[in-house]
Amino acid sequence: MNVSEILSGLVGPQSWSGLGLTVTRLRDLVIVDLGSRSLVIACDSNASIGDLPADHLKQDPRITGYSVAKVPLMEVLAVGATPFLIVDNLCCDLLVTGVRILQGIKDIVDEAGLEVMITGSDESNMPTRQTGVGITVMGVLDTAALRVGTARPGDELWVVGRRRSGIGVDAYAERDGSTASAVHVAAATRLPGVHEVLPVGSHGIRFEALELARTANAGVQLRDDVDTDLGASAGASTCFLVACDPERADGLRSLALPLELVGSVRSTEE
């Protein structure tokens, strides 16, 4: 039995209907169809990264908060939803470590120009020797505007932002004008000719390109002559993929980030 089979037995079906709702798990998102409106839910977690005694990677917990909130925010924004709620589950004390994690979460929210409610819980009853935090981001949009599986055959696939592994890299130092963030994803979704946006994480660019094509019932052709390592981790979504009309690709320059053409979306019949 492989990991996928084990997990499928634990997390249940990919879709569920009841109570007048249709809930679908799609890529790293959960979509709750409410009729004309839909909720979009994304999650992430981070462990053993902070300044507690047993943390493996030592860094300021504020950086941990920034990076752990960045990924699900980008995922929600990428499909066209507006985030309205962040739930933080702090597996550590609140008054020392937790407050600094929350400062980092607030930093990425402010950077993206969002107005978001933040709530959650913490572990202040037990002594903790290792940093841990789970994040859930919820957004809302008109159901008809959901941008998942909307890439089209003939679209060019561009990587926006400089790919970085994220391990040992200060997430604040990444804000040097070359690394993608939530504000760039939101801007990309508004550009004419952009059909789909997908943040890239630890699975790498090749994996996400295949996922983007799969959900569009299409294929993908990746170039062999790219400078970026398509199989390497992109850490905390240091870059993202854009499926774009080739005639409108020049508009991506307005994002003021490094760009690289890595492939194209193809019909499954090609």
pLDDT in tens, 136-171: 999 999 999 999 999 999 999 999 999 988 655 555
Task: Please provide the DSSP assignment of 248-270 as one string.
Answer: GGGGGGGG-S-EEEEEEEE-TT-
Mean pLDDT of the chain: 91
Whether 70 has a pLDDT exceeding 60, the answer reads yes
The pLDDT, as a whole number, for residue 39 is: 97
CB 157 within 8 Å of CB 216: no
The pairing of strands 49-50 and 117-121 is unpaired
pLDDT bracket for residue 73 (50, 70, 90): very high
Angle between helices 99-111 and 61-78 (to 10 degrees): 40
Q: Report residue 131 CA to chain centroid gap.
A: 21
Stretch(es) of the chain classified as CATH 3.90.650.10: 156-266
Share of the chain above pLDDT 90, in %: 81
Helix H or strand E encompassing 120: strand 117-121
Residue 60, CA distances (Å) to 100, 120, 168, 171 in order: 8, 20, 12, 10
Mean pLDDT in residue range 113-128: 94
pLDDT attached to residue 165: 80
Contact 240, 160 (CB under 8 A): yes
Query: Does domain 156-266 correspond to CATH entry 3.40.50.11030?
Result: no
Question: Residue 1: is its pLDDT beyond 70?
Answer: no
Residue ranges of the chain that CATH labels 3.30.1330.10: 3-145
Whether the pLDDT of residue 128 is over 70: the answer is yes
Question: pTM score > 0.75 for this model?
Answer: yes
Token readout for 213 is 């094509």
pLDDT tens string 234-262: 988 999 999 999 999 999 999 999 999 99
206-215 tens-digit pLDDT: 999 999 999 9
Distance from CA of residue 84 to its chain's centroid?
Answer: 16
User: In Å, how far are 192, 242, 265 from 187, measured between CA atoms?
Assistant: 11, 12, 22
Instruction: Name the CATH code of domain 3-145 (choices 3.40.50.300, 3.30.1330.10, 3.30.70.1290, 3.30.70.100).
Output: 3.30.1330.10
Q: Which residues contact 130 (CB under 8 A, 6 or more apart)?
A: 47, 48, 50, 52, 53, 54, 55, 92
